[in-house]
């Protein structure tokens, strides 16, 4: 049985990670064209697909972020966010290896001046937290 | 008497309609796939005068200077066949190129008097190089930057030779992540003074008729200060860069056929 | 009532479509859906001239037209001799410069193609196409 402080800790993680994705989602949802250009800079998808993703992904992040905070469709939300973060880290590394000059675009243009390593570190931290939340929720389910 | 007049009028009207001219085109759009190393792509647009009056070409005009179009004859008699040859000079173009030739005749029917002939050519170069410029800012860490060269799979290119026009840059070629792909790693010796180099890339391939490709590598001059005064050192840098341009770079060896 | 994680994920994915489609409808005329919007690359003559020495003028017309007359100081760069002419431009370019490409008239595609290749192949960022082309320049000289 998880102690109260443990429960509190995991709940806090939900709020923080959920909040991050809500913030990231909102920032991109209000400027879809800018996001479409950022996606295009990775040069991995044709524009026609990238622009549609630019409209859709921010809302997916937002909805999943809310799912985390409200504990509504919680594990589904975790699953999607983990997949998104993983794909995004992979794409960033590939783009960097190809020598492309990309502004991350994940946090809009507020994060434009961060270094690549700072971005990557944050993304890995998020990924690890998401995985930890997933594991923790599975453990909780088994206990019930 | 009236019936005769009526028949006469009907006959005349019928005859008048019969006197039509029409140029019929076998195709108005041609897709071409020029072979590697071709300098031109030629499309033949065949026509036939299916009318019963001669047709005269008033103008045959290509959409751009790179395409020339010729008719075999200015005048096409009824029943006569001919063709318009459109020659597209490929030059340094790559990818899907669409060029049009607008043909105007003296056909009284405005729907037929202008025809647009389309030539579509898909050109895959021997080497697709990206990017064609790598640069370092003054004072930036002189880390290597990568240029990706994708070889045309029909060219069987085994290796690339890369030579820099000045010793300030070194270039190393490695196999890329995909087949027919090469990674050229370019590195400056230092980034304290402005340098311009042309890197000549020579593919080793039986299909290669001596073609070389060039990319530019630069260490940029220090950013101009807001005072915009040209200091003597900047002047010297500018003249050094110019000097590199004036002396024939290895790219002069690339044949201009 | 246990809904599997996958089912939850699918429901969330579907849920996100609603506002996304709404937004897409709102922006439907403001976004180019098929290919990147290039209208932002156009620049008019006054703007281009206001850049003064920071502008590099690029003539995308065929060689013979360039030789007859061109914008003073312009560098020729056309697709016929792309590989030969490109190095000259790349040697003169620097980050604070803005490139202005022009060709014979608005209907001629060459300047747009040259601008596109400079962006895509050479990775240059501030590349613009002169609205009205060479004709606009000529008119302004009278």
pLDDT of residue A65: 96
Contact assignment for C90 to B89 by CB distance below 8 Å: no
Which has the closest alpha carbon to B175: B141, B150, B210, B145? B150
Q: Are residues B166 and B148 in the same domain?
A: yes
Touching partners of A (3+ C-beta pairs < 8 Å): B, C
**Percent of chain B at pLDDT exceeding 70:** 76
- Domain range holding B88? 21-123
Q: Looking at the partner chain, which of A55, A75, A77 has a beta carbon nearest the beta carbon of C20?
A: A55
- Tell me the pLDDT tens digit for each residue of B82-99: 999 999 988 888 888 888
Q: Is B10 inside any structural domain?
A: no
* Counted domains in chain B: 2
Residue B128 confidence (pLDDT) above 80: yes
Q: Are residues B223 and B134 in the same domain?
A: yes
At A111, is the pLDDT very low, low, confident or very high (cuts 50, 70, 90)? very low
Contact assignment for C20 to A74 by CB distance below 8 Å: no
Contact assignment for A76 to C11 by CB distance below 8 Å: yes
Residue B230 confidence (pLDDT) above 50: no
Chain A residues contacting C, CB < 8 Å? Answer: 29, 32-33, 36-37, 40, 47-48, 51-52, 55-56, 58-60, 62-64, 67, 73-80, 101
Residue B256 confidence (pLDDT) above 60: no
Q: Are residues B143 and B244 in the same domain?
A: yes
Taking residues C57-74, report their average pLDDT: 92
Q: Are residues B240 and B131 in the same domain?
A: yes
pLDDT of residue A43: 80
ω into B131 cis (within 30 of 0) = yes
Q: Are residues B246 and B136 in the same domain?
A: yes
Q: Are residues B247 and B160 in the same domain?
A: yes
B196: closest chain C residue by CA:
C91
pLDDT of residue B180: 87
Provide DSSP, chain B. -HHHHHHHHHHHHHHHHH----EEES-SEEEE-PPTT-SEEEEEEEEEE-SSS-EEEEEEEESSTTEEEEES-SEE-TT-EEEEEEEEE-TT--EEEEEEEEEEE--SSHHHHEEEEEEEEEE--SEEEE-SEEEE-TTS----EEEEEEEPTTS---EEEEEESSTTEEEEEEE-SSTTEEEEEEEES-SSS-EEEEEEEEEE-TT-SS--EEEEEEEPPPPPPTT----HHHHHHHHHHHHHHHSPPGGGGS---
Taking residues A70-91, report their average pLDDT: 93
Q: Are residues B94 and B168 in the same domain?
A: no
Q: Are residues B210 and B133 in the same domain?
A: yes
State how far residue B183 is from chain A, nearest Cα, in angstroms.
Answer: 9
Taking residues A98-115, report their average pLDDT: 56
Taking residues C55-64, report their average pLDDT: 92
Contact assignment for C79 to B218 by CB distance below 8 Å: no
Domains of chain A by residue range:
4-143
Q: Are residues B132 and B247 in the same domain?
A: yes
Contact assignment for B256 to C110 by CB distance below 8 Å: no
Residue A37 confidence (pLDDT) above 60: yes
Q: Is B256 inside any structural domain?
A: no
Residue A117 confidence (pLDDT) above 50: yes
**Percent of chain B at pLDDT exceeding 90:** 23
Q: Looking at the partner chain, which of B92, B130, B220 has a beta carbon nearest the beta carbon of C83?
A: B92
A94: closest chain B residue by CA:
B177
Residue C128 confidence (pLDDT) above 70: yes
Taking residues B6-34, report their average pLDDT: 73
Which has the closest alpha carbon to B95: B147, B152, B52, B172? B152
Q: Are residues B81 and B136 in the same domain?
A: no
- Tell me the pLDDT tens digit for each residue of C38-56: 556 888 888 899 998 999 9
Q: Is B166 inside any structural domain?
A: yes
**Interchain CB contact of B148 with A (< 8 Å):** yes
**Interchain CB contact of B145 with A (< 8 Å):** yes
Any idea which of A31-45, B22-36, B137-151, C36-50 has the lowest mean pLDDT? Answer: C36-50
- Dist CA C97 CA B139 (whole Å): 19
Q: Is B14 inside any structural domain?
A: no
Touching partners of C (3+ C-beta pairs < 8 Å): A, B
Q: Is B36 inside any structural domain?
A: yes
Q: Is B155 inside any structural domain?
A: yes
- Dist CA C142 CA C138 (whole Å): 7
- Tell me the pLDDT tens digit for each residue of B68-82: 888 888 888 898 999
Mean pLDDT for chain B overall: 79
Q: Is B201 inside any structural domain?
A: yes
ipTM value, please give it: 0.84
Q: What is the CATH number of the domain that holds B139?
A: 2.60.40.10
pLDDT of residue B12: 64
**Interchain CB contact of C42 with B (< 8 Å):** no
CB A106 within 8 A of CB A56: no
C6: closest chain A residue by CA:
A76
Taking residues B112-132, report their average pLDDT: 88
pLDDT of residue B245: 39
Q: Which CATH architecture group holds C39-141?
A: 3-Layer(aba) Sandwich (3.40)
Q: Is B1 inside any structural domain?
A: no
The pTM score is 0.61
């Amino acid at each position: 049985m998880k102690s109260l402080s443990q429960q509190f800790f995991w709940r806090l993680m939900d709020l923080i990670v959920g909040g991050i994705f809500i913030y990231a989602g909102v920032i991109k949802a209000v400027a879809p064209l800018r996001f479409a250009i950022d996606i295009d800079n990775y040069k991995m998808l044709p524009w026609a697909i990238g622009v549609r993703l630019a409209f859709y992904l921010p809302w997916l992040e937002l909805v999943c972020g809310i799912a985390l905070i409200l504990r509504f469709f919680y594990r589904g939300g975790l699953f999607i966010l983990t997949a998104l973060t993983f794909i995004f880290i992979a794409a960033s590394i590939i783009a960097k290896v190809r020598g492309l000059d990309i502004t991350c675009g994940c946090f809009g243009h507020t994060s434009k001046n961060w270094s690549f390593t700072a971005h990557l570190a944050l993304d890995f931290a998020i990924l690890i937290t998401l995985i930890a939340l997933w594991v923790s929720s599975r453990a909780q389910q088994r206990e019930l | 008497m009236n019936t005769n007049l009526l028949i006469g009028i009907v006959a005349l009207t019928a005859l008048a309609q019969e006197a039509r001219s029409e140029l019929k085109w076998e195709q108005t759009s041609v897709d071409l796939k020029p072979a590697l190393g071709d300098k031109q792509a030629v499309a033949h647009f065949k026509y036939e005068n299916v009318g019963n009056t001669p047709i005269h070409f008033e103008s045959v005009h290509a959409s751009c200077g790179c395409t020339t179009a010729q008719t075999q004859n200015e005048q096409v008699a009824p029943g006569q066949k001919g063709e318009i040859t459109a020659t597209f000079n490929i030059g340094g173009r790559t990818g899907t190129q669409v060029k049009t030739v607008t043909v105007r005749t003296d056909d009284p029917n405005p729907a037929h008097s202008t025809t647009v002939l389309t030539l579509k050519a898909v050109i895959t170069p021997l080497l697709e190089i990206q990017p064609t410029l790598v640069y370092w800012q003054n004072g930036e860490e002189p880390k290597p930057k990568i240029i990706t060269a994708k070889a045309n799979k029909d060219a069987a290119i085994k290796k690339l030779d890369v030579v820099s026009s000045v010793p300030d840059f070194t270039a190393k070629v490695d196999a890329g992540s995909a087949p027919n792909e090469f990674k050229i790693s370019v590195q400056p010796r230092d980034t304290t003074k402005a340098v311009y180099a042309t890197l000549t890339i020579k593919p080793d391939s039986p299909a290669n008729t001596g073609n070389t490709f060039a990319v530019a590598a630069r260490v940029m001059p220090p950013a101009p200060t807001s005072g915009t005064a040209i200091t003597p050192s900047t002047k010297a840098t500018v003249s050094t860069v110019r000097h590199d341009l004036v002396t024939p770079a290895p790219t002069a060896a690339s044949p201009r056929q | 009532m246990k809904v599997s994680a996958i089912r939850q994920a699918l429901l969330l994915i579907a849920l996100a479509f609603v506002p996304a489609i709404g937004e897409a409808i709102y922006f439907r005329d403001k976004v180019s859906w098929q290919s990147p919007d290039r209208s932002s690359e156009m620049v008019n003559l006054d703007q281009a001239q206001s850049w003064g020495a920071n502008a590099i003028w690029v003539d995308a017309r065929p060689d013979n037209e360039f030789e007859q007359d061109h914008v003073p100081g312009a560098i020729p760069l056309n697709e016929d001799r792309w590989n030969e002419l490109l190095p000259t431009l790349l040697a003169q370019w620097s980050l604070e410069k803005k490139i202005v490409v022009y060709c014979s008239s608005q209907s001629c595609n060459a300047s747009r193609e040259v601008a596109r290749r400079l962006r895509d192949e050479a990775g240059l960022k501030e590349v613009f196409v002169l609205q009205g082309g060479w004709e606009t320049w000529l008119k302004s000289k009278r």
